[in-house]
Every structure is written in structure tokens, then in C-alpha cells.
A and B are shown apart, each in its own frame.
Chain A
Amino acid sequence: MQNKRSMMLKIASKTAMVFMCAFLLAATSGCSSARSDLRATGGVYDPLEPMNRGVFAFNNALDRAVIEPVARVYNFLTPDFFRAGVQNFMRNLRAPLVVANNILQGDVKGAGVATARFVMNTVGGIGGLFDFAAAHGLPYEPEDFGQTLAVWGFGEGFYLVLPVLGPSSLRDSAGLAVDTLADPVRLYAFNRNEEWIYYTRGAVEGLDNRARMVGAVNDMRRNSLDYYAAVRSAYTQKRRSLVRDTNPEAPKAKAVQYYDEGWE
């Protein structure tokens, strides 16, 4: 009985994966017909803009009411070294995913660095609390499955604002789903029926990320006329730069044409 159920689940999840891939392929290749819209959105394809703006407004309200105040209190109450320790620990927990994505991208050197970092920081950095490896010339390089998909030739698809999680794209959301499924912390917590570990980790990671961006977010809110459009542009530029760093040769054609319009 148990066996049959797990079998069914496996088939169901495989089918879901196939559908997702097909959808992703169709969506990321099909957007070329709508390229004329690109100029209208500052180089970002955003056919779901009305819905995205709604989710963005919701996220923004939630952020102002709860998340930002909590992040400010956290920044105020904790010393710098404590927050650095939290970030190092959180990054170390994700290191296996970074290694896996480096391998999937065919980046042997990156995989080696990420593995060395994981070992050094877990052992020498006391369970990852200190970034011992960065002090020895092996700095942190973020890699996720969204970037891996980009290396494999998938386009961004379209811009997507996720509830609570914020700016993303079709490709990056699919990447996030895969990273979440493969996340060792999640697998460990769910196998032991200790889901709280997973949710606590998520909350702390979110708080750590948000607390680091208090200044930048404020600056953007103050200095943009259309906050949604400014964030959309900034997010997309940042992701493109991460993909370019990962594989500088691949998406040259997609590299932003900076001074194409109104430029001498």
C-alpha cells in the first residue's frame, strides 16, 4: 500500500516535471513574437504586468507593515559580527546546492571552489558560522538553478512577482522550485517530521536578506517615480549580470545594449 502510494507520487511528480519543462520551453522560446513589447518595459518582457503590480503592491504593504520594521529592529539589536555569522551559516547550509548547480552548469572549477568552501567553513568555520574560506581566497559565488537553466539556453520567459518572495521570472521561479525540491535542509527536516526546522530556516534567511537591503530599498523607494518599474529593471539587470558572470561566452547577444537610444 505504502509502496504503491509512493510509486504513484513518483509518477505524478515526473509528469509534473515534464509539463513544467514543456511549458518553460514554450514560454521562453515563444516570447520572441512579443519582442516589440520589450521597449515598452525597459527591456523586460512583462505580459502579466497588471497581476504583477497587484502582487507587488501586496508585498510592499506587507513589507512596510511587518517585514521592514522587524528587519530594522534586528539590525538595531544585533551586532555586526552576529549578523555576519547568521549569513555565513545560512550560506553554508545551501552550499550543497551551489556545488550541484556548478556541476550542472559544467563549471568544474566553480564546483571545486564551492566544495572546498563547504568543507573549510564547516570544519574550520565552526559549522559554517565563519567564512573561513573567503579569508583564504575562496570567495562566495551564488549559483542557483535559475542560472543553471540560463546556461542551458533557457530565456527569462517573463517577469513574475511572487507573493512574499518578490521579483522573479518564469525561469527563475522554475529554478527556485527545483532548488527547493533538492534542498538538503528541506529533505532532512521533512524526513524527520521536523518541518519547523525548514520553516525557521526560511524565516531567518529571509530576515537576513531583507535586513541587508534596508538602505538600498529605501533609496529606491525614495528616488523612483514608479517603484514597480524601477525594481523590475534592477532585478532583471542583476540576474543578467549573474548569468553573464557564470558563463561569459554564452549569452553575449543578450547582453544589454546600453546606449542604443537617444545616444550620441
Chain B
Amino acid sequence: MTTFSLTRRVMMLGMAFAMLMPAAAMAQKKTDPAVAFVQKMGDAALTELTDKGLKGAEREKRVRDLLRKNFDVQTIGRAALGTHWRSATEAQRKEYLSLFEDMIVRTYAQRFGEYTGQQFKVNSSKPTTNARDTIVSSQVIQQGGPPLLIEWRVRNNDGQYKVIDVFIENISMMITQRSDFDAVIQRNGIDGLLDSLRKRQK
């Protein structure tokens, strides 16, 4: 042992570190609670929502339960209204949030109703500039096509995780919605937006 030169020892130490590092990184990836949260949510969605025999109303009810449990709908809704949130009255805000939730429920119920065996795989996570938020990256693997990249912006509220934005192939659903709503408000005001959302319920 004592015959080892210093450089050799340093090299061996380096190698030992290099071998340990990926293991450490992997261990950390496994235990990231934000990743585990998204995985659990995905699993629950696939088992509860994809049954072909599910009636429309029952599927919507299940989507709503999962949504309330896993998404911070209030925060997303507020953000999707952008600056108009400030100018909205209390009554408008309340009705808007309820209509907004209905819209998301219908959208996702529809998407899961068209499920054709895609697989869901959670990959990795990365931090954001906001210490509470993590971006969890996942893939939807579909037959006969490239996997779809879906990222979840997950916020940690004192250990309770909630999704606050979904990016599909780098396109933020919240920002797209904000532009969409904004265009309607520009023309018809907040009441116009509420009207459009109400019409969508039928």
C-alpha cells in the first residue's frame, strides 16, 4: 500500500468518486418527492380514468376529484386571467374560477376518453428560479410516433405538492390559455369571457 505514489492515490480517489457520483445522482432522482408526486398522479389517472366503459358524467366526476387533489386550480386560473384578475370584481372572480375548473375537467375527461393505450413515464426533475417550484419531465409514449414531452411545474406548499402548469412539447398550457382569454377580454370584456365559458358548458 505504501508503495502507491501520491498521484496514484489521487487518481484512485477520483475514480472512486466518479463511480459513486452517478449512483448518488440516481438515488437523489429516485427520492425527489416532486417526481414521486407526478408518478403517483399519472398512475392514478391511468387506472381511474381510462376505462372505456366509463360514463361521461362519472368520468368527469373522477377527473374533478383528481384535479382538485393534484392541481392548484385557483392559482392556475388566476394566472390564466393575467392582469385582468385585478380589474375583475369579487363575483366575477368567483364565477370565473368555477367555470375555469369546469373547462379543465371537460378537456381532460375528453382526452382520457380517447385513450388508446399510451404509456406514461416520469423521467427527471429540474429546479426553477422559484425555490418552491420544480419542473418534472415526463413522456407519453404512443404507438407509431415519437414520445410526447410533457413537463409539470409542481409547487411545494409546505410539503404538499400541486401542479401549477403543464407544458406539452414546451408549450405552456397556462400561457396559451392566458393569450386565449386575453383576446376574448380585449373584445368583449370580462363578462364576455364568462359568457364564452358559460356557452362552452352546454
Distance between B198 CB and nearest chain A CB, rounded to angstroms: 11
Contact B78 A42 (CB under 8 A): no
How far apart are B70's CB and chain A's nearest CB, in angstroms? Answer: 19
Query: Inside 8 A of A84's CB, which chain B residues have their CB?
Result: 144
Q: How large is the interface on A (under 10, 10 to 19, 20 to 34, 35 or more residues)?
A: 20 to 34
The stretch from B25-33, B55-63, B167-175 touching chain A is B167-175
User: Any chain B CB within 8 A of the CB of A249?
Assistant: no
User: Residue of A at shortest CB range from B200?
Assistant: A225
Q: Provide the bound-state CA to CA distance between A41 and B184, in Å.
A: 11
A229 to B178, CA, bound (A): 9
Cβ of A117 under 8 Å from chain B = no
Q: Which of B143, B175, B197, B200 touches A233 (beta carbons < 8 Å)?
A: B175
A interface majority secondary structure: helix
State which residues 61-106 of B face A: CB under 8 Å: 75, 78-79, 81-86, 103
| Contact, CB under 8 Å: A262 / B86 | yes
Main secondary structure of the interface of B (DSSP, over half): helix
Bound CA–CA A237/B174 (angstroms): 12
A39 at the interface (CB under 8 A from B): yes
Contacts of A79 in B (CB 8 A): 144
B186 neighbours in A (Cβ, 8 Å): 40
Chain A interfacial positions (CB closer than 8 Å to B) = 39-44, 79-81, 83-84, 212, 219, 222-226, 228-230, 232-234, 237-238, 241, 256, 258-259, 261-264
Chosen A-B contacts, 21 in total, with CB atoms closer than 8 Å, are A39-B83, A41-B183, A42-B179, A42-B180, A219-B111, A222-B107, A224-B176, A224-B180, A225-B193, A229-B184, A232-B179, A233-B176, A238-B169, A258-B165, A261-B79, A261-B82, A262-B78, A262-B82, A262-B86, A263-B78, A263-B79
